Structure 1
Amino acid sequence: MKIAYIYLSQLETRDANINQMLSMCEALGKHSEVTLFTGWMSKSAFASLCQFFSIKQNFATQRLPVKLLTGSLLIEKVTRLLYCIQVLMALKAGSFDVIYTRDITLLVFLKMLPSWARPNVPVIYEPHTLYHKTSEKVSFELEHASLKLADYFIPISHGIARDLEGILGVDPGRITVLPDGVRVDVIANVQAQSLARDQLQVLYSGSFIDWKGVEIFIEAIPFVRTPNVVFLALGGVGKDFERIEQLVASLDLQDRVILRSRMSQDELMPIAKSAHIGVLPNNRTAIGAHYTSPLKLFEYMANGLPILASDLESMREILAENEHALFFEPSNPSHLATQLDRLLQDEELRRSMGQRNLQAVEAYSWDSRAQRIVEIAKRLTQ
């Protein structure tokens, strides 16, 4: 089985979407021949990127001579068009059994072509959102028309699947929901490394962008009654990091919060393993409430952490209340603190939740996800 994995992204950002893409290519590479078609990055820089995310490059790459530029909508459209043209030429020159993409731009491009000019192989689309719901760049009409070019859909959440069916009219028989995953076996062998010994550690890891709710996490800290607790906020960059840094200062929390910018997997996982609780404070947005499948959720589980999460559909798809997590009212710092105190003050509850999360996360390995995808791809090519 030869798979063309197609996704244009800004590799230099090292965002979670890059982690997800590379993790999937690595996992698919264990069960098939995979070629990742991506924008330009030097060979050494790409190797460094893989190292940052602890990726073993068991897949081929075609690093096309184009970069995704987003300075203006016109420039972005041009760079995406150039990428798609080059991908089409490479697909015509190569021999692949299936196309796998999380890039709606590819579907938009294929829709523009006459049928004879399109690749004559099945296309599997992995939607991470409904773009007409979350972006001004894509209309309902464009998304609806473009999705007709996909033969099968692998959304990362049931919220996406529900809207694919109910809003965009996709046949449910062509949909399989596969949430994101984690390297369960790798994390199992990580040794804990504490940033704050002899204190209970509450961890938020990942992006600091608005809908992630990091502000709510920080604003809850003054309401927490449990003593001897340190709060870790790890992963922000640029203006998002500065915004949270200023919030911490304005609330005079510098002695209670440890802030770190984005970290490699090798740096982050030992710290995560030493934490006592993982927090997912998503705000109630379309992405945060319905569409997301957070990598940090599965990382928390694989590290054996009990979880405190916003009471949202996207969280309850994976987490059962009082078994894997406690929930709090989204965007409510006071309620977050109340639920956090409950976890902080109940060591047995933390222990039992952590153990159940370790057991449950086995179902969410990247490897098992890749196996399901290869099985679907084989059915489509028979």
Structure 2
Amino acid sequence: MSLTGISEAHPVMRIAYLHSGSIPSVYANGVHVMRMCDAFTDAGHEVVLYALPGTVPAGDVHRYYGTRNRFEVRSIAQPALRGLGVWIRAWRIRADLHRRGTPDLLYGRDLRALLVSSGRTPLVYETHLMWPRRIVRRIEGVLFRRRNLRRVVFVSQALADDYRRVFPELDSSRWADLVTAHDCADPVPADGPVADLPGRPEAPKIGYVGHLYPGRGTDVILELAARVPEADFHLVGGTAADRTHWQSRCTRPNVYFHGHLPPAELAPYQRAFDVVLAPYQRRTYCAGGAGEISRWVSPMKLFEYMSYGKAVIASDLPVLREILTDGVNCLLCPPDSAEAWAAAVKRLVGDENLRATLGGEARRQLHDRHTWRIRADRVLAGLGDTTRPQP
């Protein structure tokens, strides 16, 4: 399908990224959005990000996330009016866009703001889950019938397949195409500062970076600590409430909770780990229980682990096999089998060569397929000029 009228007129685009979450925040969606805007800017585009006001203190949002570029971030608040607040905010974004001049492309995950602001401006809608609420699907259906919708981006092939099933009109659309683009990570230097972790200096360091809410496998990690007492387990991330919840249930002296850290401060911890864990369960939820995503999830933590060349142990879920291959770039285990996870940890702890082989292949695949710049080029292909060399 030809996407005409954009690349010819706008080899470099002015992109408005419309986000329904807060910037900055403790949540992964904020990291994803900031990384994408950073990559769009690397590609030469002029980017303005619209987001809700931040929910964590950060004097400099770009320093908090560790971005390379200082693209503009505009905070648009949402009135506390049930059912109406999201629409009022969408119209506020539209008014701000009108005052500042119509961008060349609207891109984002804020369904309502995209719909209200679109007019005749080309737009790209990105989705990370099949929304459970019928009203949201109805709004999506309206968006999918817009003639200025140029592309729908899915974070996994499983999600793309489910959208095609629920919205068969997507396959028959003459003006929009469908792109699967998994999450990513930025390449990182092989050397750099290493965190001075608490615990036994000689003990293997097993790491987890991410949230602690339901479905993320925190209970599996605590069981692992009991089954592998010779190793120390370090959990980085989680809200204060979730951290308190799990710490109150943890009796093991070889478990350390480090709490939430700004994304820009995670690198020393990643470098300090010998083995890293992604124990997603068969039912995995978004923040606040907004949706069950185990069928479609594309975890950023996996790609960040890969960027550091770490030996990964991950849950053997069909969607994760879109990226991971057992014995090639990771070890896969049944999500809820603590015995299998313990065996995998012990295997990697005792085999330095295997750790290096798995980690090295994971890093190579990350560099070749899964950087944010590669993703930015993919989701904008045919919509503008993203062929400049990577920084």
Q: What is the number of equivalent residue pairs in this alignment? A: 355
Partner in structure 2 of residue 364 of structure 1: 370
**Structure 1 counterpart of 2:223:** 219
SS of residue in 1 equivalent to 2:61: helix
Give the superposition deviation at 1:45.
6.1
Query: Structure 2 CA distance, aligned partners of 1:327 and 1:146?
Result: 38
CA change 1:101–1:360 in 2 (3 A) is: same
In 2: Cα distance, 1:12 partner to 1:5 partner: 15
Shift of 1:194: 3.7
Q: Give how far 1:51 is off.
A: 1.3
Residue identity in the other structure for 1:130: M
Q: Does 1:39 align with 2:52?
A: yes
Structure 1 residues 98-177: aligned runs within 5 Å: 98-107=105-114, 109-110=115-116, 118-132=118-132, 136=133, 138=135, 140-149=137-146, 150-169=149-168, 170-171=170-171, 174-177=177-180
| TM-score, length-scaled by structure 1 | 0.85
Instruction: List per-residue Cα deviations over 1:58-109 (Å, max 9, x = no partner).
Output: 3223333x1475xxxx53x3331121001112233312111101122335x5
Letter in 1 for 2:266: L
CA contact (8 A) 1:9 1:68 kept: no
Once the two structures are aligned, what percentage of the paired residues are identical?
Answer: 23
**C-alpha offsets along residues 2-32 of structure 1, whole Å, 9 cap, x if unaligned?**
1111112133533111111111111111221
Q: 1: CA distance between counterparts of 2:95 and 2:124? A: 19
Aligned partner letter, 1:120? R
8 Å Cα contact 2:306-2:363 kept in structure 1: yes
> Alpha-carbon deviations, 1:161-187, whole Å to 9, x = none?
1111122222287111111111214x5
Distance in 1 (alpha carbons) for counterparts of 2:248 and 2:191: 36
Shift >6 Å, 4+ stretches: none
Deviation at residue 137 of structure 1 after TM alignment: 7.1
Structure holding more helix per residue? 1
Letter of the structure 2 residue corresponding to residue 198 of structure 1? E
Q: How far apart are residue 222 of structure 1 and its match?
A: 1.7
Distance 1:162 1:19, change over 3 A: same
Amino acid in structure 1 at the alignment position of 2:244: E
The one of 21, 24, 27 aligned to 1:9: 21
Question: Aligned partner of 2:124: which letter?
Answer: I
Distance in 1 between the 2:254 and 2:313 partners?
A: 19
Distance 1:139 1:183, change over 3 A: closer
Segments of structure 2 that go 5 or more residues without pairing to the other structure are 1-12, 285-291, 386-391
Residues 253-290 of structure 1 show CA distances to partners (whole Å, capped at 9, x for unaligned) of 0x111111101234321111111111001111275432
Structure 1: which 5+ runs fail to align? 111-116
Which residue does 1:247 correspond to in 2?
249
8 Å CA contact 2:329, 2:362 repeated in 1: yes
Question: Paired residue for 2:233?
Answer: 231
Moved more, 337-346 or 296-305: 337-346
Tell me the TM-score normalised to structure 2 length.
0.83
Shift in Å at residue 208 of structure 1? 0.7
User: Within 1, Cα distance between the matches of 2:361 and 2:142?
Assistant: 43
Q: CA deviation at 1:144?
A: 3.4
Structure 1 partner of 2:74? 62
Task: Give the alignment partner of residue 373 of structure 1, picking from 362, 374, 379.
Answer: 379
